[in-house]
Amino acid sequence: MSQPIYESLLQVLAERLSVDAAELISSGVLEIDGVAIQLQCRETESEPFVLMIVHFGEIPWRGRDAAARRLLEVNLDLVDSELCTYFAIDPATGEVVLCIRAMLLDLSVDYLQSAISAVVGQAASWRRGEYDLGA
């Protein structure tokens, strides 16, 4: 039931971002300004949701433990946010990823496009070392 809604959302998003819609729908992967973003539609018992996984990049080796602790602290601050948002470490790559979970039926293309734009900027700042990680 939710797959057609999700695919319709991706179709319009692809048109706005001038990317191949069929490829986006089949892979769920976008790359914008060198930042990889995965979009996945998932179902729970109650409601379908979209999971956006934004690949921020590696944790700096210098001060790695302090940086990981700081990300956990940020996660605590994010608990109060409207969306389910959290940082994680991708077990396959060791990269920092930002995960955002939004209810599919509440999600608009405008909101998704705006969120993507914001997180691409945040990922770029991360990669330039602009965040205080306590290292």
* Mean pLDDT within 99-128: 90
* Mean pLDDT within 28-33: 95
- Predicted confidence (pLDDT) at residue 133 exceeds the cutoff of 70: no
d(CA 29, CA 119): 15
Name the pTM for this structure. Answer: 0.85
> Domains plus CATH for the chain?
7-105 (3.30.1460.10)
- Predicted confidence (pLDDT) at residue 116 exceeds the cutoff of 70: yes
Any residues with CB less than 8 A from the CB of 15 and at least 6 apart, and which? Answer: 21
Any residues with CB less than 8 A from the CB of 36 and at least 6 apart, and which? Answer: 29, 30, 54, 55
What are the residue ranges of helices labelled H in the chain? Answer: 2-17, 21-27, 64-78, 109-127
Mean of the per-residue pLDDT values for the chain? 86
Residue among 54, 55, 50, 53 at smallest CA distance from 9: 50
Q: What is the dihedral of CA 73, 41, 32, 132, to 10 degrees?
A: 0
> How would you classify the pairing of strands 35-43 and 29-32?
antiparallel
What pLDDT, on the 0 to 100 scale, is given for residue 80? 60
